[in-house]
A and B are shown apart, each in its own frame.
Chain A
């Protein structure tokens, strides 16, 4: 069952092109030139109920504009769009009742109050019956293990704890669709993993359709079976996430901290990104990562090693070039 559908969805912005300097500013008082920017270009997308989709793309690719159109915040310039049978920009109450948005910078929490206070407010805003409210609250609080934080002032919570509360507030009314924008940004590894486990559980146990925007490859890899890659407002990939990484993610970034200053050998197929007395950062072809790791562990006194996925921008660039 299709829950989101867009056809040739386009969003164009008009922006003022100011000439430089004071003369340009004065000229701008009398005559202004505008340029058109296509943020989303003839975008076709279909999302089925219960899917967990990753929306990937570099900054300015058009992901946020797309999410804004899907949530009704802005109107499309042309094309067709339907979300749960509604035209989003009409912002009908029945439509808003059925989805939730979590954006890092747009907190719904009251920082002066406790999370419990915000939950009470949202119970009324979404008209959630008392028994359903208690059931949902207990379920999510238990899932996140945040019982002892419910009556603590929100401003005193850590970033990770705050994001957990944000998610509980968003999911309290059982939304059919959850739009998530960078939910793990700035979080440490433990908190990031907890959030991912939580989202996976919500998607599987409640059948909530989730559209996730993230720059962290880890989020997309672990959570999303399907990924949509956007660049310059256009869809350049739509399909299986594993296949996407298999085909287009060619390298890994390895950071090695040595116990003392060494002069390590670097295989010719590796690219040195950073080199210091006791630190070496390499870009390694994916298929050679294990071999390189073994060779360093066996030959050098190592204090710590970190391996990261290739950053999203390179993957997108490769898809775009068809390499």
Chain B
């Protein structure tokens, strides 16, 4: 475990080298809050509620969900893996005593920890300085569920992208798979068409898929909504994480033995 922590630490340190990126991250976090404040103030003019949300709840939901959305950068795992397999540098991970899945997840965790820290610090400071009202659940159990769900959600996305990266060993070109993943993810999170337009049984079915619990549900839990779904969410995400943990191990072992690519 310590080696994976050290890998995370190394990638976090590597992120901190770029000072201008760090400052831009801070500025973007501030700009996002400012933009959200202006946007929702305009939309709420003369209204008490929109879609069952008051101004403070909506503003808080927007900040939390966009913060979580910004943390989810795991697509770079599959892109990096496919690039390294094809240009012949992936084998450097195969010859050291680490599990490649663990290495890539730890790498991602290190990068996320950096963005999460910067984003959280800036947001909290901004809210505190300008006394911006923020809706946060007072229920500690729900808050803990939300935090664990965020961690599991990010872990699941890292595992999913690692799986897609492994497929390079078999298919060499995985952009189609990445496109399917992006479209499917957009569909089940309601980004393509509002979920409310779909038949109830489809929406219910989606509750068994992990994407709903990656950013949407934890955001709702943090602002004190959908609390009854917290345990189901944790269970569903845990099962998906376990499935992909095993699937990745089996798939990697299966394909790496067969892989002849001149690249690696």
Interface positions of A (Cβ within 8 A of B): 13-14, 68, 71-75, 89, 91, 93, 96-97, 99-101, 103, 105-108, 110, 112-113, 117-118, 120-122, 124-127, 153
Contact = CB atoms under 8 A, between A and B. Distances in A.
A121 B10 contact: yes
Given A68-B91, A117-B10, A14 B97 contact: no
A107 B5 CA distance: 21
Given A13-B262, A105-B88, A113-B14, A97 B97 contact: yes
Contacts of A89: 257
A112 B88 contact: no
B3 interface: yes
A112 B22 CA distance: 15
A13 B258 CA distance: 11
A13 B260 contact: yes
B95 interface: yes
A113 B13 contact: yes
Interface in B2-29: 2-3, 5-7, 9-10, 13-14, 17-18
Contact of B94 (A72, A121, A153): A72
Contacts of B262: 13
Contact of B89 (A68, A97, A106, A127): A106
B92 interface: yes
B97 A93 contact: yes
Contacts of A105: 88-89
B68 to A, nearest CB: 26
B6 A113 contact: no
A103 B88 CA distance: 11
A74 B260 CA distance: 7
A120 B89 contact: no
A58 to B, nearest CB: 17
Contact of A124 (B3, B258, B264): B3
Given A110-B10, A121-B9, 8 more contacts: A13-B260, A71-B95, A107-B92, A110-B14, A112-B13, A117-B10, A124-B5, A124-B6
Interface of B: 2-3, 5-7, 9-10, 13-14, 17-18, 88-89, 91-92, 94-98, 257-260, 262, 264
B259 A74 contact: yes
A106 to B, nearest CB: 4
Given A96-B96, A121-B6, A106 B91 contact: yes
A125 B95 contact: no
Given A73-B95, A96-B96, A127-B3, A14 B14 contact: no
A264 B167 CA distance: 63
A126 B2 CA distance: 11
Q: Looking at A72, A106, A107, A110, which has the most chain B CB atoms within 10 Å of its CB?
A: A106
B97 A106 contact: no
A163 B264 CA distance: 21
A91 B96 CA distance: 9
A100 B95 CA distance: 8
15 contacts: A14-B260, A73-B94, A74-B260, A74-B264, A97-B97, A101-B92, A101-B95, A105-B88, A106-B88, A106-B92, A108-B96, A113-B13, A124-B2, A125-B6, A125-B96
A103 B91 CA distance: 10
B92 A117 contact: no
B237 to A, nearest CB: 29
A28 to B, nearest CB: 14
Nearest to A73: B91
A105 B89 CA distance: 7
Given A96-B97, A117-B13, A125-B98, A108 B260 contact: no
A75 B257 contact: yes
Q: Looking at B2, B9, B18, B97, which has the most chain A CB atoms within 10 Å of its CB?
A: B97
B18 to A, nearest CB: 8
A108 B258 CA distance: 25
Contacts of B7: 121, 125
B87 to A, nearest CB: 9
Nearest to A88: B95
Contacts of A68: 91, 264
Nearest to B11: A110
Contacts of A153: 17
Q: Looking at A101, A107, A121, A126, which has the most chain B CB atoms within 10 Å of its CB?
A: A121
A106 B6 CA distance: 20
Contacts of B259: 74
A15 B62 CA distance: 52
Contacts of A91: 94
Nearest to A127: B3
Contacts of A117: 10, 13
Q: Looking at B88, B94, B257, which has the most chain A CB atoms within 10 Å of its CB?
A: B94
Contacts of B13: 112-113, 117
